[in-house]
Chains A and B, each alone.
Chain A
Amino acid sequence: MSDVASPAAAQGGASPTFLRDARGLQRKLVEEYYGRLAPSEKPHPPVAYMLVGGNLTEIVRAFGYDVVFPEIVALNCAIKHQSLENILHAESLGYGLDVCGYVKNDLGLQDLGGTTSFGQIPRPDLLVCSFSGCYIYVKWWEALAESYGAPLFMFDVPYMREEAPRKEDIDYLVSQLWEFVHLLEKRTGRTFDMDELKRVLAESRRAEDGWVEFLRAGRFRPSPIEAYFESIFYMFPINVLRGTPEAADFYGVVNEEVRARVKEGNYPLPEEKYRVLVEGVPPYTNYRTFWDFFRKWGAVSVVATYPKVGGLFDRGFRHDPARPFESIAEYSLGAYVNQSWPLRRQIIADYVKEYQVDAAVIHGIKSCRSFTAGQGDLRDWLIHERGLPTLYIESDHQDPRYFAPAQIKNRMDAFFESLEQRRAVAAAPGVAPA
Chain B
Amino acid sequence: MPQLLQIRPESDGVAAGETGPRIEISSDFREFLQADSVEQLVRLTQEVLADPTYPTVRAWRKTGGKAVGCFPVYTPQELVHSFGMLPVAMHGGGENLEISRADAALGSFLCSISKSTLEMALTGLLDPFDAFVFPYICDVSRNLEGIFSRVLPQRASHMLHLPQNFTSPATIPFLVAEYRRLIEKLERVAGDRFSQENLRASLEVFNEQRALVDRLASLKRDAPWKVSLVEYYLLLRLGGLLPREVHIPLLRRALTELEARQQRNKDAIRVIVIGPFCEQPTLELLQLVEDVGCYVVGEELQMLHRWCPRIEPGADPLESLATSYVRTPVDIGVRSTPTTKGAAILSRVDDSKAQGVVFLTAKFCEPALEDVVLYRKALDRRGLPYLHMEFEEKSTTYEQARLQLETFVESILFD
Q: Are A369 and B110 in contact (CB under 8 A)?
A: yes
Q: Is B163 close to A, CB under 8 A?
A: yes
Docked CA distance A149–B342 (Å): 13
Q: Are B138 and A159 in contact (CB under 8 A)?
A: no
A146 and B374 contact, Cβ closer than 8 Å, known pairs A341-B146, A342-B149: yes
Question: Chain B 157-185, CB within 8 Å of chain A: the 1/0 string?
Answer: 00101011111111101100110010000
Q: Is B66 close to A, CB under 8 A?
A: no
Residues of A with C-beta under 8 A to B106: 373-374, 376-377
Q: Are A98 and B146 in contact (CB under 8 A)?
A: no
Return the contact of B104 from the options A99, A156, A342, A376 (Cβ within 8 A). A376
Count, A-B residue pairs, CB within 8 A? 176
Question: Chain B 362-377, CB within 8 Å of chain A: the 1/0 string?
Answer: 0111110111111011
Residue of B nearest to A174 (CB): B170
Q: Are B105 and A376 in contact (CB under 8 A)?
A: yes
Q: Are A374 and B165 in contact (CB under 8 A)?
A: no
Return the contact of B159 from the options A129, A143, A340, A372 (Cβ within 8 A). A340
Residues of B with C-beta under 8 A to A366: 108-109
A155 and B165 contact, Cβ closer than 8 Å, known pairs A94-B372, A369-B140: yes
A164-172, A313-321, A422-430 - the one binding chain B: A164-172
Within 8 A of B (CB), among A390-429: 392, 394
**Binding site secondary structure of chain B:** helix
A98 and B363 contact, Cβ closer than 8 Å, known pairs A138-B336, A176-B168: yes
Q: Are B165 and A154 in contact (CB under 8 A)?
A: yes
Residues of B with C-beta under 8 A to A188: none
A364 and B107 contact, Cβ closer than 8 Å, known pairs A342-B146, A373-B143: yes
Docked CA distance A141–B338 (Å): 8
Q: Are A135 and B105 in contact (CB under 8 A)?
A: no
Q: Are A154 and B139 in contact (CB under 8 A)?
A: no
Number of interface residues of B (CB under 8 A): 61
Q: Are A341 and B147 in contact (CB under 8 A)?
A: yes
Docked CA distance A103–B367 (Å): 12
Q: Are B139 and A171 in contact (CB under 8 A)?
A: no
Q: Are A369 and B139 in contact (CB under 8 A)?
A: yes
A95 and B370 contact, Cβ closer than 8 Å, known pairs A159-B136, A369-B139: yes
Docked CA distance A380–B144 (Å): 15
Residues of B with C-beta under 8 A to A143: 370, 373-374
Return the contact of A136 from the options B337, B366, B376 (Cβ within 8 A). B366
Docked CA distance A166–B139 (Å): 22
Docked CA distance A380–B367 (Å): 28
Within 8 A of B (CB), among A133-151: 134-136, 138-143, 145-146, 149
Residues of B with C-beta under 8 A to A152: 338-339
Q: Is B150 close to A, CB under 8 A?
A: yes
Q: Is B78 close to A, CB under 8 A?
A: no
Return the contact of A373 from the options B144, B164, B168, B377 (Cβ within 8 A). B144
Q: Are B107 and A376 in contact (CB under 8 A)?
A: yes
Q: Is B200 close to A, CB under 8 A?
A: no
A369 and B147 contact, Cβ closer than 8 Å, known pairs A141-B338, A155-B165, A175-B168: no
Docked CA distance A172–B170 (Å): 6
Docked CA distance A345–B161 (Å): 20
A375 and B107 contact, Cβ closer than 8 Å, known pairs A136-B139, A139-B367, A370-B139: yes
Q: Say how far A427's CB is from chain B's closest CB, in angstroms.
A: 32
Q: Is A267 close to B, CB under 8 A?
A: no
Q: Is A93 close to B, CB under 8 A?
A: yes
Residues of B with C-beta under 8 A to A221: none
Q: Say how far B63's CB is from chain A's closest CB, in angstroms.
A: 33
Residues of B with C-beta under 8 A to A146: 338-339, 341-342, 374, 377
Q: Are B107 and A142 in contact (CB under 8 A)?
A: no
Add 11 more A-B contacts to A142-B339, A172-B168, A340-B145 (CB < 8 A). A94-B376, A95-B370, A99-B370, A136-B367, A139-B333, A143-B370, A168-B174, A340-B149, A373-B144, A376-B105, A392-B107
Residue positions of B touching A, CB distance < 8 A? 103-110, 114, 136-140, 142-147, 149-151, 159, 161, 163-171, 173-174, 177-178, 181, 333-334, 336-339, 341-342, 363-367, 369-374, 376-377, 390
A–B Cβ pairs within 8 angstroms, 5 of them? A103-B370, A142-B336, A166-B177, A168-B177, A374-B105
